[in-house]
Amino acid sequence: MKNWTKADMPDLSGKVIIITGGNSGIGYEAARVFAEKGALVVLASRDLAKAEKAQKQIITDIPAARVEAMTIDLASLDSVRAFANAFRRAFKRLDILMNNAGLMTSDYQTTAEGFELMFGSMHLGHFALTGLLLDRIKETPGARVVTISSFGHRLGKIDFDNLTFKDGKDFSDGAAYGRAKLANLLFTYELQRKFEFSGLDAKAIAAHPGNARTNLVTSKNKLHVRMFVWSLMALGRIQNAEKGALPTLRAATDPGARGGEYYGPNKAGETRGYPVVVQSSEASHNLDDARRLWEVSEDLTGVRYQSNF
């Protein structure tokens, strides 16, 4: 079977796409390709200056590109609400919402609401954003919500007794990152079930980039994390961000992609290669956990989906 590349993407003229964390890494590479294909791309970033710099670079490289820069801090539900309100005032459709922004931090930190930072931003922030934009998704035929997970989700465990590592209890960088990425998948699969139950013309799909060279791991990470990444780079087991973006691009645009699928690289244990449908962990398909996580996420964020389905 032929390897899927960006050349297989359809024309995206007239489409409106949001990418959280679109100013760098996988998000930036996806934004460039979306713009090449004719979409209007909204770079949603915590740092507006960085988003505007990315916007200018894409337009410099692709003069016909339509790219907007907007501010969102997924670690603040007030900021998420402000972004959603601003987007809804400016746009009447949303073809692709890419829940992409991610981080990995070594120390226990919290969001504005007091949730552990990785779970609070990568899961709760994106959960709230999707819910607040659900009316635009519902109004756009064929809309997709693409949420970026990681094979790190396989290390994640959901503990409803201490879901957000309150006061740092049981916190470690690996445990928090794994839990957030597992939650991304539980959310995706439950969202797809709700789309199907409600008869909406929309799809929820997940993807992961494999081992891609991005700014997720920085000098702020513990030395053992950086040494592990450097060793992978030395062994040639890390691909560039452009290649790492392919699973995301396929999940977002392949006409044959189905709701509830999970895309990742096809080689070396999903660390690199071309995008294919891959399998996530047994824990990510736990129906009871998915339903309970949804209910708890609504309670924690104050964002209720039901009125929009």
Interaxial angle between packed helices 48-61 and 25-36, expressed in degrees from 0 to 180 and rounded to the nearest 10: 40
Residues 6+ apart with CB under 8 A from 53: 23
Residue 71's CB is within 10 A of a number of other CB atoms, namely 16
Per the domain annotation, does 216 fall within a domain? no
Q: How far is CA 229 from the centre of its chain?
A: 21
Which pLDDT tens digit goes with each residue over 27-76?
999 999 999 999 999 999 999 999 999 999 999 999 999 999 999 999 99
CATH of the domain at 77: 3.40.50.720
- Residue identified by tokens 């660390």 is 271
pLDDT of amino acid 219: 43
> What mean pLDDT comes out for the span 229-240?
52
Strands (E), 143-256: 143-148, 202-207
Per the domain annotation, does 229 fall within a domain? no
Whole-number average pLDDT of the chain: 92
**Pick the residue with more confidence: 23 or 220?**
23
Count how many residues are written for the chain. Answer: 309
Per the domain annotation, does 5 fall within a domain? no
Per the domain annotation, does 126 fall within a domain? yes
- Burial status of residue 146 (CB atoms within 10 A of its CB: 0-12, 13-18, 19 or more): buried
Which pLDDT tens digit goes with each residue over 165-176?
999 999 999 999
Per the domain annotation, does 231 fall within a domain? no
- Please say if 177 is a catalytic residue: yes
Q: Return the structure tokens found at 113.
A: 């609401």
**Pick the residue with more confidence: 213 or 105?**
105
Distance of alpha carbon 79 from alpha carbon 183, whole angstroms:
21
**Pick the residue with more confidence: 309 or 16?**
16
Closest by Cα among 38, 155, 41, 141 to 91: 41
Q: Return the structure tokens found at 289.
A: 């956990």
Percent of the chain with pLDDT over 70: 91
In order of 9, 109, 116, 206, the CA distances from 112 in angstroms are 39, 10, 10, 27
pLDDT of amino acid 302: 98
Q: Which of 177, 189, 262, 263 is catalytic?
A: 177
The pLDDT-based confidence of 268 (bands split at 50, 70, 90) is: confident
pLDDT of amino acid 190: 98
Per the domain annotation, does 278 fall within a domain? yes
Q: Domain range spanning residue 85?
A: 12-210+241-304
Per the domain annotation, does 236 fall within a domain? no
Distance of alpha carbon 138 from alpha carbon 308, whole angstroms:
8
Per the domain annotation, does 49 fall within a domain? yes
Number of domains the chain contains: 1
The pLDDT-based confidence of 194 (bands split at 50, 70, 90) is: very high
pLDDT of amino acid 216: 54
Helix, strand and coil content of the chain, in percent to the nearest 5, comes to 45, 15, 40
